[in-house]
Structures are given as C-alpha cells and as structure tokens.
C-alpha cells in the first residue's frame, strides 16, 4: 500500500509485503533511499528520520535539497504506517495468541477471525512455538 507517490510528493513511500506474521517485521519503504521495520520505527522514530536525512545528503542531485517541511511530511507517512500496523486486526490476534497462557488457548477458538490469528492459534494448540511458524498466504 502506498502512502505517498512522486506525483504528489517528493517521497515515494509504501508498506512493503513481508513473509512474516510478526508485527515488528513489517516494512515501511522510502523508495530509492531506505526501509525500516515497524520495530525499528517504534523503537526510535527520530533516529530513523535522521538516517533518511543522512542518506539523502549523499544523493548527488543538484535539483533536490530536502527541507524540514518535507521531512515532517515523511514523518506523517511513517506515523500513518505505524497506525495501520497497530490497528491491523490480524496482528492484534497474533499478539493475543502469542501472549495467551497455554491453558486458555481453547477459549480463543471462537475469537480468531483472520487467517493470521487462526494459523497462529492452530500452531500453538499443536504445542509448537510461534517462532517456528512459517508464513502462508492461504
């Protein structure tokens, strides 16, 4: 999903598809510059913005010097990404399964509505660790 495109911004940013069910592994891409995981952005957003600033200084383009206003715009796109990940029901279900005590897992059977949540619950009910859960887009 795109948050911005070059047709209306100096940034082309988007949510990059990953093959992980973990919230922290989801990727925000600043096209042609760098990318960050949700975990990195949540840990230190300011440092991530600083990294982009340093990297854009290395771009040898006489036509572009990014302004503070443009970096504020980028921060807004990052915050949208963070909000989308935090409100994604499938990640919330995955986290709920991950945190649930083993004896309470059967109680979650009727609560899982997403493929990600159902897959994680089935994995845990088999007594398997979620770290060994492999991605499936079924």
Whether 120 has a pLDDT exceeding 70, the answer reads yes
pTM of the model: 0.84
Whether 58 has a pLDDT exceeding 60, the answer reads yes
Report pLDDT for 130: 86
Report pLDDT for 34: 95
Is beta strand 27-30 parallel, antiparallel or unpaired with respect to 2-4? unpaired
Give the pair of three-digit tokens for residue 25.
Answer: 């592994």
> What is the number of other CB atoms lying within 10 angstroms of the CB of residue 2?
11
Q: Determine the straight-line distance between the first and last CA of the chain, rounded to whole angstroms.
A: 20
Whether 85 has a pLDDT exceeding 90, the answer reads yes
Whether 61 has a pLDDT exceeding 80, the answer reads no
Q: What mean pLDDT is predicted for residues 112-132?
A: 88
Helical spans, DSSP H, in 1-138: 38-43, 45-58, 68-86, 89-99, 115-125
Phi, psi of 5 (to 5 degrees): -130, 160
pLDDT digits (tens, 9 = 90+) for 89-110: 998 898 899 999 989 999 998 8
pLDDT digits (tens, 9 = 90+) for 10-31: 999 999 988 888 899 999 999 9
Q: What mean pLDDT is predicted for residues 115-127?
A: 90
Give the confidence band of 63 by pLDDT, cuts at 50, 70, 90: low
Distance, in Å, from the CA atom of 78 to the CA atom of 100, rounded to the nearest integer, reads 30
Angle, helices 45-58 vs 68-86, to 10°: value is 130
């Amino acid at each position: 999903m795109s948050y911005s495109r070059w047709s209306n911004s100096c940034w082309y940013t988007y949510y990059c598809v990953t093959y992980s069910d973990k919230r922290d592994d989801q990727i925000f891409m600043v096209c042609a510059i760098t990318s960050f995981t949700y975990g990195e952005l949540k840990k230190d957003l300011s440092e991530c913005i600083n990294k982009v600033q340093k990297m854009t200084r290395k771009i040898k383009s006489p036509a572009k010097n990014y302004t503070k206003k443009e970096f504020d715009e980028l921060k807004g796109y990052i915050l949208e990404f963070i909000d989308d990940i935090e409100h994604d029901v499938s990640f919330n279900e995955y986290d709920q399964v991950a945190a649930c005590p083993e004896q309470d897992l059967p109680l979650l059977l009727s609560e899982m509505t997403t493929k990600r949540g159902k897959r994680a619950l089935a994995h845990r009910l088999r007594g398997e660790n979620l770290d060994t859960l492999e991605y499936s887009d079924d």
